Each structure stands twice: as structure tokens, then as C-alpha cells.
Structure 1
Amino acid sequence: MRRRTLLAGLAASATAPAWAATGATHIAAAREPSGAYALFGLAMDATTVFRVPLPARGHAAAAHPMRSEAVAFARRPGTFALVLDCAGGTVTHRLTPPSRNRFQGHGAYTADGVYLLTTEAVHTTSEGRIGIWDSATWTRVDEIPSGGLGPHEILRLPSGGFAIANGGIRTDPSDGRRKMNLDTMRPNLTYLDNGRITETVALPGLAQASIRHLAAHGSTIAVALQWEGSPDRTVPLLMLHQRGQAPRLFEAGPDQPRMQGYAGSVAFSGNGQQCAITGPRGGLAPVFDVATGAVAKIMTRPDICGVAPAGPGLAFSDGTGGLLMPNGVRKHALAWDNHLIALAPTPSAASRSRRRRYRSERR
């Protein structure tokens, strides 16, 4: 047995995040009219406040909880992730996974920002891996199992630990987007604590509902599902889960067939009372009441996919350049990519005083 112990406090610095100085509350990747790609900082009035160029199409980004730093991930299967100084508008580091692995589009910092965790898959088998990177030196310090095939999003949880969306799909090594095991796929939601898998949640009877994207509010996890089974079957596209409990599954009512079995993103509202999934294929985003599971409203926009908490409510972005923020709605000459990322708020004094141990081990 070989064991590595990585120590990380919840907040290594009492300094407030530098994001406020940029004027940004959210970040998102986009394609520009020229065909170039960039990561943008967004303000609550739906204006852009910074731009950092990307070498190719981006997918999602991980925002450092204190520094005005983000890591932008290539669309899966990716071979690069860029560390960006968003205040200076520069690329400071380029991360490359081990030759056997590919990035899967998402990552998350530990709460103190000391480490970055990245979702990866072994290129030949789609076996899920979580890469661990030291954010001071950008060296890779460890790698642990994700708990399934084809991991996509990893999410740092407010209560500690991480959640991992294992999509359950094996892809063709010669074509990383072609799916090979739809009849036998086994997606799951995995919880990771101190580097160890502590709970795994599957969906009996819905094995072809790929678990792709995640959101959290308090102790509740929201999961966006993508149905890989028969198009004639209508299945839930939103799952809510709390540790140790059975999942709650929700359909979007009469409008759900327009989503074509595909939920692109998921987010809780800032006050946690609502949860939205987006359906870019049908141009709609159902917003659910978390307490009752009822659909409270339907947002309609062409190619709507990005969603994130904003103030007490929600913000949305779409592939035609639309940006819907609490203090403004604008149409940009941009094609926003899949995700809208909310930046971390200033940590509280209580969180700055706590310390936790992040421990990873591998055999």
C-alpha cells in the first residue's frame, strides 16, 4: 500500500477573494464571431468585464475561491486545461493529463484553493480518474478512482467533500464522442470524502439515464440527467439527493418532451428555493420548486444551456448570445458555451477559522 496525505485548511488566507476587483460575478466560455474562443467575466448587469483568449473550444471552468484565477477546460475528451489570471487577462499555466488519460470538461478546487481536482478518463477504457494538482506549482500530486466510467462533473460540497457525476458511458478510443455500451451502462453519483468514496447512488430501472452535471445547496445535491435509452420513453431529467436517503426524481410536465431527454446544466437559485435544468435542444429551462417538486415556471430561449445562482435567483445563458442576469438582459455577439459558473462569495470568518484534512490514498 502506498498512501499520500495532503493537508489543506478550508481557508489558508483571510484575504477576501480578488474576484471583486474584476467586477465579475460569473464566468463563461464563448465562441466569438471570428471563430476564436475566450473565457469571459460577467457582471450582474449582463455586461462582460474581462476576456481571456482560449486556444480551442472551452466547456466549463473552475474558479479559485480567493484568487482571481480560473482553470478553463477543453471540451471532452480534452488534452488541455488552462490556468488563467483573469485580472491580468493572461494564461499562466497549461495543464496536460497523463498520456493515458483525457480531461472530461470539469474540475473543482478544494475550499482553500490549495488543490485542483480534475475529472479524467482512461482513454482506452473510460475508467474514471480524479487528478489532483497543487495550485501553487501546478504539479500533479496524485490520482484516485472516480467510482465509475466516464466521469464528467466534480463538485465541491458546502458541507465538505466532493460529489462526482459518473456518466457510466464507455467511449470509442478512436472517437471520444462515440458511445459503445449504452445497453450495459451504469451511471452513478459518487461522494468523495478525504480521498475515499463514502457513498454511491445508482438509479435502478434508469440505468440509461446518464448522470452528467451537478449543483448543490446546503445538504441537497441536484443532478441533471441525459437519457440514452428509447426516445419513446419519458423519464425524469432532474434528481435531488441527500446523503443516506433515496433519490427524488422529477419530470418537467407537459413541456418535457421538447427537451428530447437531454438536460444540459443544473443550478439552484441563490436562496435554494428553486432548481432549474436547461434543455438546449428544445429551447426551454424548467424551474422547479424544491420543496414540492412542482414546475414553478418555464424559461424559453433558443439553445438555452447555461444556468447558475445569481443573487437570490438564477441567471441563464444561451448559444445565440443571450445573457439573462438579475440586473440586466443583453444579447452579445457571442455563442455562449454549455455552462455559466458563479464565482465564490467572500468566505465567512467561521469558515476561515476551520481546518480540514484532505487525504487521498491509492493502492
Structure 2
Amino acid sequence: MTNRRHFLAGLAAASLAPVRGWASVGAPDYLAAALFPDGSYRLAGLDINGEILFTLPLPARGHAAAAHPYRAQAVAFARRPGTFAVVIDCTTGRETARLEAPKNRHFYGHGVFSANGNKLFTTENNFEAGEGVIGIWDSQSYTRLGEFPSGGVGPHDMRLMPDGQTLVVANGGIETHPDTGRSKLNLPVMRSRLSYLNLSGRVLEQVELPRAMHKNSIRHLCVRRDGLVGFAMQWQGETSQHPPLLGLHRQGDAPHLLSAPVADHSTLQGYAGSIAFAGDGQTVAITCPRGNALHRFTVDDGQLSGVFPLEDVCGLGPGTGGFVYTTGTGLVGRLRNGKAKTFAQPRCQWDNHLIPIRGPA
């Protein structure tokens, strides 16, 4: 494992001064949170081959992170219902700021920078009102500039669309309150939706699932370079039912739901953890840690193109010609040419997500 101290020592030996860009930290391809053997929670930068380029301390368990588009800076978010987000200078390993959710708010574990990097947007819960909000933060001072409604309840993941002017938000529909921890308070009446918002908070489009699937919580997102959105879901209904856990949506159209044959799909326990388009954008995949499987689909026809048994697989990102994945057992692997291959096994337990630093496929 290449840690930050060794990396900076190498720079000093080569008489190089660290710079602010991502190249100064070995040009990582992904960020991921993990639990390490010493009991510490850390944010790691990984390259395309699964090598850890640096690790940086977190005050508690992390969930996902946002990478600044230009500066070697990351914002690591606490797991829901956490109230902190840590801003880390990845060239020095120093915490440079800490975001605290305002009164009656908590973070949902995800956020995204504006295209120019000047603002950070965060998914949050206004738990007294039972409504979702998007927080707006200045990315120089990390002071809060304001907020606007997320377009639904329980906003979880959020992505910036390729136009640089639109946010797509996964409003999972589940109401929670810190007083009851992670308990789900409104399952009989929950409604999940995708919300497209401009950067001022104006709703551009809302997309809901058929009424019979109102308990299918839209949780995580990926966006292809042409604006096609993939979304992963988590079923909150009867365990005897096995609705689709993956959908595709293009603005102005109806959502297209994808599912494996029942023999494979019924083993997933109604839970998709992460979603990503492949590096070439031709396939899309979901990870299913409860079912110990990764399911891959062809985008053009929506057909299942591969089922890959992988224990506790959850983190997923685009890779060269395929995908890169992480598992709770510490594996980093690559899915390419129809084969899943492990190429690294750091001594850690990877958390839910593998965040690509670069743009969509």
C-alpha cells in the first residue's frame, strides 16, 4: 500500500513540489471509503488497477465522496444520518474544512460539485418537515449559501448532467428522523421519483415509477455522456415480490426498467447497492451485496448480458472496456470481456461506493 507519507517523500526526493491538481497525488481514478485493520475509517484514492495511492482519515464511517473537478480536493460524506462532511486536501492529507449540517438537517452521504467547481451541492433531509433539500455551499470557504427543495422525500444520490446546468436527484421516497435512527417511517405511502432540477432549484422534470412499484426506492445514479441516466433501486415491499432494481431514463421519455430472469433476480433480496455505465457506455451494471452478485445489461436492448457471483460486492465504477468493483471483503476487481478478475486485495473493508474522479462514459 502506497501511503501519503511515502508518496510525499518520493516527491521530495525527486525535487518536485506538490501542485493543486489531481496529478499531484498520483492521478487517482477513484475515491472510496473503507474500514482499515487498525479500526480507522479512511478515504482512499485508487488507480485503475486497484492500487491505493493514498489514504486519509475520517472521523467516522464514510459513505460516498465528491471529487473537485480541478483541485486535488475531496469531500467525504458521513453515512446517513450523519451531520458531517470532511473537506480534504489530497496533496497534504489535511482536513481543510468541515461541513456541519444546519439545524434540523442531516446529510444523505452524497454530493456533487458544479462544473466550474465553485459550488458544492449536497443531498439533505429536512427531518422536521419530512422533506428533502439540496444544500448549496461555496467551495472556497465551504460556507453555506442556501438550499432548495430536492423535489421529493429522502434524496440520496445526485449527479450533475452533462449540460453542466442540471442536477438529477434520486428522491428515494423514504422518510426518516434521527430520533429513530435509520428506521423507515412512511413505507405504506412512500413515493420515489427522479427529479431534474436546474442549479437554482427549479424543477424541470419529475419521473415516478408505476403505482404498483411505489415502494421501489430509487437510491443511486449514473449518467452517460449523452445524458442517459441509470438508476438503482431498493425494494421496500414484500420479500415475496421481486420487482426490477435497475432503470434507464432519458429526459422527456418514460423510464425503462431492466431485470434478470426470475431464477437470478429472485436471489438479490430486493437490493441494488451501486450502479455504473461501463467505460465504453455500452453496458450498465448493478451490484447486489445481499445477493452476492453483479448483474450486467446491454444498454441498447436492455437484455441481461452477465451474472457474476461476487461476495459482498457493492462499489462500482467505469473501467477500460468494462467496470471496476470493490467488495466488503477487501477485493478490488475488474469486469471485462465477460470475465470478473480480482487484481488487488488491500487489507481493508470497502464501503458502499467507488466514485470515479473523471467524467461520465
- TM-score normalised to structure 1 length: 0.88
| Structure-1 residue corresponding to 2:14 | none
Contact 1:125-1:170 at 8 Å conserved across structures = no
Q: Give yes or no for the alignment of 1:164 onto 2:185.
A: no
Q: Which of 110, 114, 125 is equivalent to 2:114?
A: 110
The structural deviation recorded for 1:171 is 1.5
Q: Give yes or no for the alignment of 1:270 onto 2:269.
A: no
Contact 1:58-1:72 at 8 Å conserved across structures = yes
The structural deviation recorded for 1:345 is 5.3
Separation of aligned partners in 1, 2:22 and 2:260: 35
Q: Say which is worse superposed, 251-260 or 113-122, in terms of deviation.
A: 251-260
Which segments of structure 1 move beyond 2 Å, counting only runs of 4 or more?
123-126, 325-328
The structural deviation recorded for 1:311 is 2.5
Q: Give yes or no for the alignment of 1:259 onto 2:268.
A: yes
The structural deviation recorded for 1:180 is 1.1
Separation of aligned partners in 2, 1:64 and 1:312: 25
The 3 A distance-change label for structure 1 pair 269 and 189 is same
The structural deviation recorded for 1:328 is 6.6
| Structure-1 residue corresponding to 2:347 | 333
Contact 1:44-1:328 at 8 Å conserved across structures = no
| Structure-2 residue corresponding to 1:230 | 238
Q: Secondary structure at the match of 1:78?
A: coil
| Structure-1 residue corresponding to 2:215 | 208
Once the two structures are superposed, residues 261-283 of structure 1 have per-residue CA deviations (whole angstroms, 9 ceiling, x without a partner) of: 00001000111101010100011
| Structure-1 residue corresponding to 2:199 | 194
Separation of aligned partners in 2, 1:178 and 1:312: 40
| Structure-2 residue corresponding to 1:360 | none
Q: Secondary structure at the match of 1:149?
A: coil
Q: Give yes or no for the alignment of 1:42 onto 2:46.
A: yes
Task: Output aligned runs, 1:115-154, within 5 Å.
Answer: 115-154=119-158
Q: Say which is worse superposed, 291-300 or 218-227, in terms of deviation.
A: 291-300
Contact 1:19-1:25 at 8 Å conserved across structures = no
Separation of aligned partners in 2, 1:288 and 1:125: 39
The structural deviation recorded for 1:158 is 1.2
Separation of aligned partners in 2, 1:343 and 1:334: 21
Separation of aligned partners in 2, 1:18 and 1:309: 21
Q: Give yes or no for the alignment of 1:342 onto 2:356.
A: yes
Runs of 5+ in structure 2 lacking a partner? 1-18, 336-340
Q: What one-letter code is carried by the residue in structure 2 that aligns with 1:277?
A: I
Contact 2:194-2:208 at 8 Å conserved across structures = yes
The 3 A distance-change label for structure 1 pair 172 and 132 is closer
Q: Give yes or no for the alignment of 1:89 onto 2:93.
A: yes
Separation of aligned partners in 2, 1:172 and 1:138: 25
Contact 1:40-1:51 at 8 Å conserved across structures = yes
Contact 1:166-1:211 at 8 Å conserved across structures = yes
| Structure-2 residue corresponding to 1:22 | 25
Q: What one-letter code is carried by the residue in structure 2 that aligns with 1:150?
A: G
| Structure-2 residue corresponding to 1:353 | none
The structural deviation recorded for 1:301 is 1.3
Separation of aligned partners in 2, 1:17 and 1:324: 29
Separation of aligned partners in 2, 1:252 and 1:175: 35
Q: Say which is worse superposed, 119-128 or 86-95, in terms of deviation.
A: 119-128
Contact 1:126-1:169 at 8 Å conserved across structures = no
Q: Secondary structure at the match of 2:266?
A: helix
The structural deviation recorded for 1:37 is 0.3
Q: Secondary structure at the match of 2:56?
A: strand
The structural deviation recorded for 1:312 is 3.1
Contact 1:305-1:339 at 8 Å conserved across structures = yes
The 3 A distance-change label for structure 1 pair 75 and 194 is closer
Separation of aligned partners in 2, 1:191 and 1:18: 30
Separation of aligned partners in 1, 2:134 and 2:359: 25
Percent identical: 46
Contact 2:232-2:246 at 8 Å conserved across structures = yes
Runs of 5+ in structure 1 lacking a partner? 1-15, 347-363
| Structure-2 residue corresponding to 1:349 | none
Separation of aligned partners in 2, 1:56 and 1:86: 18
Q: Which of 177, 184, 203 is equivalent to 2:189?
A: 184
Q: What one-letter code is carried by the residue in structure 1 that aligns with 2:355?
A: I
The structural deviation recorded for 1:178 is 0.3
The aligned length equals 331
Q: What one-letter code is carried by the residue in structure 2 that aligns with 1:245?
A: D
| Structure-2 residue corresponding to 1:301 | 310
Query: What value does the CA root-mean-square deviation take over the aligned residues?
Result: 1.6
Separation of aligned partners in 2, 1:288 and 1:325: 16
Contact 2:167-2:199 at 8 Å conserved across structures = no
